[in-house]
Structure 1
Amino acid sequence: MVNRAVWETLHKELAAAGATLVAVSKTKPASDIKELYDLGQRHFGENYVQELVSKQAELPADIQWHYIGHLQSNKVKYIAPFVHLVHAVDSFGLLKEINKQAAKNSRVIDVLLQMHIADEETKFGMDEADIFELMEYYTAQKEDMQNVRICGLMGMASNTDDEQKIRSEFARLNNFFIHLAETSFLGKPYFAIRSIGMSSDYHIALAEGGNMVRIGSMLFGNR
């Protein structure tokens, strides 16, 4: 069941902050997504390829689907025809596969690089050195990588009640984003997204430069 009042509040708050709300709809039925869609929500995030493909076929065509989970290279082909933004690119191999499948579908797919900012080793992502190395590969092979576009960074904070720790992790990502944006790697107007913050910490994310938040439980209830 969708919490309409919460969506309306979030929608206004994030619009005022210039941030995009991605409604995390994983495991939720298409009927819940359609209810939120009818209110005006267009960005939805999914973690599982099969579930995303099924929902995309059933729901309105103008939904902008975000793939926010860990994406395996052999699954890219299933979402390449329609995915709006891939949030969690954590290797150059995955970036190349997204480019390959995008070319087959005559598309350019936007992606974010996942930066590891949390303490937990179980979280995916690259550190600053890894991202610099990926950027160097990307720049060197730019002529062969015309169907994928790096639009920013994504990160997940530590699972903790320590707000100062969360704040420092988000600030680290934002500071590195600014550094990247100022380098010769990209310097493009589309390199603009910092996807940080979820239901429990999105206020901190907004204060630390985030402009895309991934909200699930506040909108759809606990899973």
Structure 2
Amino acid sequence: MNALSDRLQAIRDRITAAAQRCGRDPASIELLAVSKTFPVKAIREAVDAGQLLFGENKVQEILAKAPQLPANLHWHLIGHLQSNKVRKVLPHVKAIHSIGSLDLARDVDRIAGELGLFPQVYIEVNLAAESSKHGFSAEQLRASLEALYALKRLEIQGLMCIPPFDADPAKSRPYFTHLRELRDELAQRGGAPLPRLSMGMSHDFEIAIEEGATIVRVGSAIFGERTYQTAA
């Protein structure tokens, strides 16, 4: 195996171990390989190692990379989505993790209807009220729940969060716990399941799994450190 496939297998092993520690089925947790800024060559290496699920932050990277790679890959948009790019990206992604406002949700719903699509979406929650991040506050989400459920084209999977970065991964735990508890409350209040939790990244995904993550977003631990130069 090459270095990338070794790293990918190591992450899979850590997911399995974390799930087993808390009595969960490892098969219930998906690994989203975050390939933002990395070249198509690196993604092909991950595909050769059996990875089919990839996440990108920017619409333009998905549009540039997807045509160069196998058609059976599943692309998730995990970065902020501007309304003027919804129509471009919807045909190319399986899921959007960053529905951070009711206005954006309505735009995606409307355009999905025009395109005949039913996109999977996660509602982004800004639990730390960070001005640098998008997303609903918990109170905004409670107030918007009925309106979100009324959007018939959206397949709402669950919630997503990005805790404030801290070198100590344990500092992420309260945010993951809060997101899970909020999900449970909203599912009961809204009368519809929200089965999925998108939370956890390279440095804290094991703690996210312990707190109920169903999809973890891992990039640098698989692909290496980023240079933050757009790669296609």
Asked if TM exceeds 0.5, the reply is yes
Q: Measure the CA separation in 1 of the matches of 2:209 and 2:164.
A: 16
Which consecutive aligned stretches of 4+ in structure 1 deviate over 4 angstroms post-superposition?
Answer: none
How many residues get paired?
216
- Residue in structure 2 matched with residue 79 of structure 1 by the alignment: 89
Opposite residue 113 of structure 2, the aligned amino acid is A
Q: Which range is displaced more, 130-139 or 211-220?
A: 130-139
Q: Tell whether 2:181 aligns with 1:181.
A: no
Map residues 66-105 of structure 1 onto 2, 5 A cutoff. Answer: 66-105=76-115
Question: How many angstroms does 1:161 deviate by?
Answer: 3.0
Q: Measure the CA separation in 1 of the matches of 2:85 and 2:177.
A: 32
Question: How many angstroms does 1:112 deviate by?
Answer: 0.5
TM-score by length of 2: 0.87
- Residue 221 (structure 1) aligned to one of 204, 221, 224: 224
Question: How many angstroms does 1:214 deviate by?
Answer: 0.4
Percent of residue pairs bearing the same amino acid type: 34
186 and 53 in structure 1: CA distance in 2 versus 1, 3 angstrom threshold: farther
Over aligned residue pairs, what C-alpha RMSD do you find?
1.7
Opposite residue 181 of structure 2, the aligned amino acid is N
163 and 10 in structure 1: CA distance in 2 versus 1, 3 angstrom threshold: closer
The answer to whether the 8 Å contact 1:23/1:216 transfers is yes
- Residue in structure 1 matched with residue 20 of structure 2 by the alignment: none
Map residues 43-192 of structure 1 onto 2, 5 A cutoff. Answer: 43-118=53-128, 120-139=130-149, 142=150, 145-183=151-189, 185-188=190-193, 191-192=194-195
Q: Measure the CA separation in 1 of the matches of 2:41 and 2:170.
A: 38
- Residue in structure 1 matched with residue 15 of structure 2 by the alignment: 14
Q: Which range is displaced more, 191-200 or 118-127?
A: 118-127
Question: How many angstroms does 1:186 deviate by?
Answer: 4.3
Question: How many angstroms does 1:9 deviate by?
Answer: 2.5
Question: How many angstroms does 1:77 deviate by?
Answer: 0.6
Map residues 184-203 of structure 1 onto 2, 5 A cutoff. Answer: 185-188=190-193, 191-203=194-206
1:4-28 Cα shifts (integer Å, max 9, x gaps):
1121122244355321100000111
1:14-65 Cα shifts (integer Å, max 9, x gaps):
3553211000001111111111112111110001111111111211111110
Aligned partner of residue 80 in structure 1, secondary structure: helix
1:164-210 Cα shifts (integer Å, max 9, x gaps):
43111110111111111222x2423xx21111100011111111111
The answer to whether the 8 Å contact 1:65/1:85 transfers is yes
1:79-98 Cα shifts (integer Å, max 9, x gaps):
11121110011111111111
Q: Measure the CA separation in 2 of the matches of 1:205 and 1:36.
A: 23
Aligned partner of residue 108 in structure 2, secondary structure: helix
Stretches of structure 2 that go unaligned for 5 or more consecutive residues are 17-24, 227-232
Stretches of structure 1 that go unaligned for 5 or more consecutive residues are none
Aligned partner of residue 92 in structure 2, secondary structure: coil
TM-score by length of 1: 0.90
Q: Measure the CA separation in 1 of the matches of 2:104 and 2:130.
A: 22
- Residue in structure 2 matched with residue 5 of structure 1 by the alignment: 6
